[in-house]
Structure 1
Amino acid sequence: MKKNLLIFSTLIKVLLFPAYHSTDFEVHRNWLAITHSLPVEQWYHENTSEWTLDYPPFFAWFEWALSQFAPIADNEMLKVTNLDYASNETIYYQRTTVIASELVLFYALLKYLSVKNDTIHKIVVLSIFLNPGFFIVDHIHFQYNGFLFGILILSIVLIHQKNDLASGIVFAMLLNFKHIYLYLAPAYFVYLLRAYCFEKVTNDCSKFSLARFATLGASVAGVFAISFGPFLLLDPIGQLSQILSRLFPFTRGLCHAYWAPNFWALYSFMDRVLIFCAKRLGVHLNEEAVSSVTRGLVGDTNFAILPNISPRITFFTTIAFQIPSLVRLWKQPNYENFLVSLILCGFASFLFGWHVHEKAILLVLIPFSLIVGNRKEYFDIFLILSVAGLYSLFPLLFHWQESVIKLLLYIIWLFFVGFGLSSE
């Protein structure tokens, strides 16, 4: 089954090579060029393209590693000034790197099967590896989410195996590949603090271990030191401030250019409805606010009727909705409660976070897949969330040529998961 799964999925992905690709394709081509052609100290300063490097250092080194093989396909892709360059060789090379990087996800799922090897979890593994979200976002739209979720699942498997310290180290590595996984960090922080840093004395009593806390802290700090170290050695203050300004661009609007289906999208929509009503009633409104719509790159959204929302408000709202699951996790730091808290932390961040991308729904759906077989209630919620969440990715592919592909992937996957899991 394992070999057939890999061959089958690879064939489908290769057939998608000629499909539409988004601006994210040019983003990653530009990052290949930056990391290959420029010295390290310029990576986070280069701005010839509007698609500047804005992922953490481990991902920059990942792009550097991929760029070492790029000349075999087409050396022109590695020129920083070759904006929007997309030769067939470049397209095939970059799409091949996505498929190759997904071997990390495949390996992680095999490790998961080594601890959960019954029929229902085999179906779960199939549903994750063949999730239409990965096909849409990675293999057509163009990103590397499969690779990153592979690292996340490895970290989760390590927690299931009670190897908490290793899990924390792997998750710290993930944060240094892509900082969106900070959405899930509260669940990791609470679990590792409670389960690893408190040693059991009796069944009802545990004692805080300063040695374990120091070991965990030093391990995580060590990962960040390896990640940021090469940049900080060059210019400690200048490089750090520049990297952080790229990673956390709070000048971007509340909502992404394409609204993620979350609370702030409803909030923005309600403001538009109230504008319409106010105009009908002859109420004078600020024209700048009326003409302000969500902006994907720069500028905050100004609301005409409802109060404006700041990053601070979204931060505290998100934390408030994460707290209940974190409290339960603190009281009962077991594997299932950790996964539930991980899912709810991701969901709260998706619903209330600042400038949330529609693709962030995968941060909820992929971890949710791992517990869907535990209870019927989980399965019912997961199916509803998958129907809505995957459908919300459809506008990413707006050409008619991809319409049949995304619909077929969506319907077949929902039928397979719905029938397969409900029958177990």
Structure 2
Amino acid sequence: MGLSVKLLFLVLLGFRDRTDLHRRHRRLAVTGAMGDIIWFFATATCVKLLLAPCYHSTDFEVHRHWLALTSSLPLRQWYSDVSSPWTLDYPPLFAFFEFLLSIPASLLDPSITNLHSHNLSSTSALLFLRFSVSFSDLSLLVPAYLLSASFPPLRRRLTLLLLIWSPALVIVDHIHFQYNGFLLGIFLLSLTLLDRGKDLIGGVVFAAVLCSKHLFLVAAPVYFVYLLRHYCRGGLWTGTRRFLTMGISVAAVFAAAFGPFLYYGQMQQVLRRLFPFGRGLTHAYWAPNFWVFYIILDKGLAFILPKFGFSIPTPKASFTGGLVGDSSPFAVLPQVTPVVTFLLVLLAMSPCLVKAFFNPQPKHIIRWVSYACACGFMFGWHVHEKASLHFVIPLGIIATNSLDDARHYFLLSIVSCYSMFPLLFEPQEYPIKVLLLVIHAILMWMGFSTYFSQRTNTKGSKGYDSTDICKGSGLIGWVGICYLLGLVVIEIWGQFLQPYMLGNRLPFLPLMLVSIYCAVGMMYSWAWQLKQILRYT
């Protein structure tokens, strides 16, 4: 009996020791993940703050005015104020975010929140707003930790590189000036929660994103179908209870955001600000999407057909002359309306919706939502080039899943970043944007090459040889290399050759070439994502 008790004690002691060892390893892994995240974020923040003196767009004054607007006027006037051209056109939760920022801003420098200040360029205003963007990027840390904490160190650091050190995000937010990192952090948190099976809170977080930036609405159909089929599954009672729970939770978020404006009778004005369809099909600088080819085809037909005796009416607006309004800019092809673009986006994402309906698996949700955002970018109404961040950043989460994903992401991220180069048009920022892209491309190449060369189970399960990535054309292929070299040619022409050869003639040509050439890469990316969804999910 005593021997049995002793053996039992030894067994329990060994079990306890193994448990303690497991916990110790887990603590070390958590500590390592936190250390990596803090280091990546701190380093990125230092670089961002060094860029504070750089050029900033009119968006800087837009957000400064919103600070003043939300702090100076009663809530019922936020969406009706016209004291500045920069009227509030983001959903209410972002307006509340601006109001919170206005509190420390007014303490630092009251002129920042003075509604009558215009084009304020004081050092205090510049530093405060620049710092607020860097500080708000903290929202990226939670999903970055949840996503990468369990990864091996190399894969974790590569994932953090793609999420936190995105050069496109630095260009748009920390030079051009916006708060995309803050909003994308919340968006990634929602996707991470769905990926982990936390459907209810993931849906609530997505509702918060929609109430902060309505352009994420393009992902709503995938969320709705997926949550309906995955979260609301079960019998009649269970499914109904979960459906009501989700509906009430999401409705509570929208009620908190829009309720005050509904109370003051401002909902119609809010919606008019959020959806200004009169802006036209394209922005002044064409986003590199499907409509670039549509416009070029129309221009080509309008040039060729009169030579064969056809009478072509002159369009009332020019796509190269600034913002396009409600006029009819197409000379030959049918006019495009917001309804047409809406239906085309739904049609494009329908394979994804079918997959989410019949086989709603959490492991595919990031790919599905990214594809939906890509559809909105490719076929949407009045799309800005910055909207590519909505699918490029989430695709960084799954870029290390396979060599195919890495190859696709390597090309896509470079094209997306280069398409934003025209946002920084002043000479002093030129070396900065070039260095940001080149350094990021080198880090991606080294990271993907090292990571995939170390994988021992790649061949067989995925059909790849782990040594392929180390070959000269393994990561991108010769077609991809030639395409990327074309970006260099486009850049050399626009920056150096055209001013020398054409002078001030055809000033729109460099922008048009960037849009057209990047649109080819974006169309390839969209088709590749569609193929992956049809084949594997």
Normalising by structure 2, we get a TM-score of 0.74
> CA 1:297–1:147 in 2, change beyond 3 Å: closer, same or farther?
farther
- Specify which of 328, 348, 351 is matched with residue 321 of structure 1: 348
Rounded Cα–Cα distance in structure 2 between residues aligned with 1:6 and 1:240: 39
- Specify which of 274, 280, 291 is matched with residue 264 of structure 1: 291
2:256 aligned with 1:226, yes or no?
yes
2:386 aligned with 1:369, yes or no?
no
Q: CA deviation at 1:291?
A: 4.2
Check the 8 A contact 1:198/1:207 in 2, yes or no. no
- Specify which of 18, 43, 47 is matched with residue 53 of structure 2: 18
Rounded Cα–Cα distance in structure 1 between residues aligned with 2:324 and 2:83: 16
Q: CA deviation at 1:338?
A: 1.2
2:66 aligned with 1:31, yes or no?
yes
Rounded Cα–Cα distance in structure 2 between residues aligned with 1:308 and 1:381: 33
> CA 1:102–1:334 in 2, change beyond 3 Å: closer, same or farther?
same
Rounded Cα–Cα distance in structure 2 between residues aligned with 1:288 and 1:57: 38
Residue in 1 aligned with 2:417?
Answer: 390
2:84 aligned with 1:54, yes or no?
no
Rounded Cα–Cα distance in structure 1 between residues aligned with 2:444 and 2:319: 41
Q: CA deviation at 1:293?
A: 4.6
- Specify which of 421, 431, 438 is matched with residue 411 of structure 1: 438
Q: Map 1:185-264; keep pairs closer than 5 Å.
A: 185-199=220-234, 209-235=239-265, 239-264=266-291
2:188 aligned with 1:148, yes or no?
no
2:82 aligned with 1:82, yes or no?
no
- Specify which of 186, 200, 215 is matched with residue 180 of structure 1: 215
2:107 aligned with 1:72, yes or no?
yes
Check the 8 A contact 2:130/2:174 in 1, yes or no. yes
Q: CA deviation at 1:16?
A: 0.4
1:357-403, CA deviations, whole angstroms, 9 ceiling, x for partnerless residues? 10011111111111111122211221221121111011111111111
> CA 1:13–1:291 in 2, change beyond 3 Å: closer, same or farther?
closer
1:359 partner letter: K
1:224 partner letter: F
2:387 aligned with 1:360, yes or no?
yes
1:58-117, CA deviations, whole angstroms, 9 ceiling, x for partnerless residues? 000000000111123321122223222221211111101001101111232122223545
2:51 partner letter: L
Rounded Cα–Cα distance in structure 1 between residues aligned with 2:336 and 2:321: 13
1:59 partner letter: F
Of structures 1 and 2, the one with the larger relative CO (CA 8 A, separation 6+) is 1
Q: CA deviation at 1:302?
A: 1.9
The unaligned stretches of length 5 or more in structure 1 are none
Residue in 1 aligned with 2:171?
Answer: 136
Larger Rg: 2
1:35 partner letter: T
Residue in 2 aligned with 1:343?
Answer: 370
Which sits farther off after the overlay, 368-377 or 307-316? 368-377
Identity of aligned residues (%): 42
Q: CA deviation at 1:340?
A: 1.6
Question: In structure 2, the residue corresponding to 1:172 is in which secondary structure?
Answer: helix
Rounded Cα–Cα distance in structure 2 between residues aligned with 1:288 and 1:294: 12
Normalising by structure 1, we get a TM-score of 0.94
Check the 8 A contact 2:162/2:393 in 1, yes or no. no
2:251 partner letter: A
Rounded Cα–Cα distance in structure 2 between residues aligned with 1:343 and 1:182: 13
Q: CA deviation at 1:422?
A: 3.1
Check the 8 A contact 1:295/1:301 in 2, yes or no. no
Check the 8 A contact 1:13/1:139 in 2, yes or no. yes
> CA 1:279–1:88 in 2, change beyond 3 Å: closer, same or farther?
farther
Rounded Cα–Cα distance in structure 2 between residues aligned with 1:22 and 1:301: 29
> CA 1:354–1:294 in 2, change beyond 3 Å: closer, same or farther?
farther
> CA 1:304–1:290 in 2, change beyond 3 Å: closer, same or farther?
farther
> CA 1:291–1:329 in 2, change beyond 3 Å: closer, same or farther?
closer
Rounded Cα–Cα distance in structure 2 between residues aligned with 1:292 and 1:409: 30
1:43 partner letter: W
> CA 1:313–1:297 in 2, change beyond 3 Å: closer, same or farther?
closer
> CA 1:62–1:289 in 2, change beyond 3 Å: closer, same or farther?
same
1:57 partner letter: P
Residue in 1 aligned with 2:140?
Answer: 105
Check the 8 A contact 2:317/2:324 in 1, yes or no. no
How many residue pairs match? The answer is: 416
Rounded Cα–Cα distance in structure 1 between residues aligned with 2:384 and 2:239: 39
Check the 8 A contact 1:250/1:311 in 2, yes or no. yes
Which sits farther off after the overlay, 179-188 or 267-276? 267-276
Q: CA deviation at 1:292?
A: 5.7
> CA 1:297–1:254 in 2, change beyond 3 Å: closer, same or farther?
closer
Rounded Cα–Cα distance in structure 2 between residues aligned with 1:278 and 1:290: 19
Rounded Cα–Cα distance in structure 2 between residues aligned with 1:198 and 1:257: 46
Check the 8 A contact 2:133/2:173 in 1, yes or no. yes
> CA 1:216–1:117 in 2, change beyond 3 Å: closer, same or farther?
farther
1:327-381, CA deviations, whole angstroms, 9 ceiling, x for partnerless residues? 1122221123211211110111110000001001111111111111112221122
Which sits farther off after the overlay, 136-145 or 266-275? 266-275
Rounded Cα–Cα distance in structure 1 between residues aligned with 2:301 and 2:144: 48
Residue in 1 aligned with 2:76?
Answer: 41
The unaligned stretches of length 5 or more in structure 2 are 1-35, 452-537
Question: In structure 1, the residue corresponding to 2:344 is in which secondary structure?
Answer: helix
Check the 8 A contact 1:255/1:354 in 2, yes or no. yes
1:230-254, CA deviations, whole angstroms, 9 ceiling, x for partnerless residues? 111222xxx1110000001111110
Q: CA deviation at 1:409?
A: 0.7
Question: In structure 1, the residue corresponding to 2:80 is in which secondary structure?
Answer: coil
> CA 1:179–1:116 in 2, change beyond 3 Å: closer, same or farther?
farther
Check the 8 A contact 1:255/1:294 in 2, yes or no. no
Check the 8 A contact 2:37/2:144 in 1, yes or no. no
